Each structure stands twice: as C-alpha cells, then as structure tokens.
Amino acid sequence: MIGVRVKLTFPEELVREPIIARMTDAFAVVPNIRKADVGEQGGWIVCELDGDATVVDQALEWLRVEGVRVDLLGDIVES
C-alpha cells in the first residue's frame, strides 16, 4: 500500500462531473481531500490517494485521460 499526494486541476468542462466518485468506483483507491478551490471556471484539489501502488498509478492515468491535470506533490508513503 502507498499514499500519494497529488494536485488535481479540473478544467471548466469537468467541474460539474463527479470525477472523484467515478475514480473510486473504478479503482480501489481511497482519496483524502486536504485542500480545494473549485468554482464555475475550473478548480483544483490537493488530495492523498491511498491504495496498491499499481492501482494508484492506474487511477492517476485514468484521471489524465479524463482531462484532469495531475501533478505529483512528492509525498509518497509506503505501508
């Protein structure tokens, strides 16, 4: 299991989409939202994603394919 801290940036067209909910339905990851600023024009979320390393990587790639900008913030904790 690992925990990865990421910043997810959402363009305007994705702000109203339940991206985090869809991600948790599709992948066995647990998000912990630490900070967020979301408005009608777009937004960002800083969160920690916990799960199996391979599954976390798959979830991050899925987010990118969906149009979310994913920036790794450098905090990776293995347990």
pLDDT at 76: 63
Domains defined for the chain, CATH in brackets: 2-78 (3.30.70.260)
Residue by residue, DSSP assigns the chain as -EEEEEEEEEEGGGTTS-HHHHHHHHS--EEEEEEEEEETTEEEEEEEEEE-HHHHHHHHHHHHHHT-EEEEEEEEEE-
pLDDT digits 0-9 by tens, 12-36? 999 999 999 999 999 999 999 999 9
79 pLDDT exceeds 60?
no
pLDDT at 43: 96
To the nearest whole percent, how much of the chain has pLDDT over 70?
A: 94
Whole-prediction pTM:
0.90
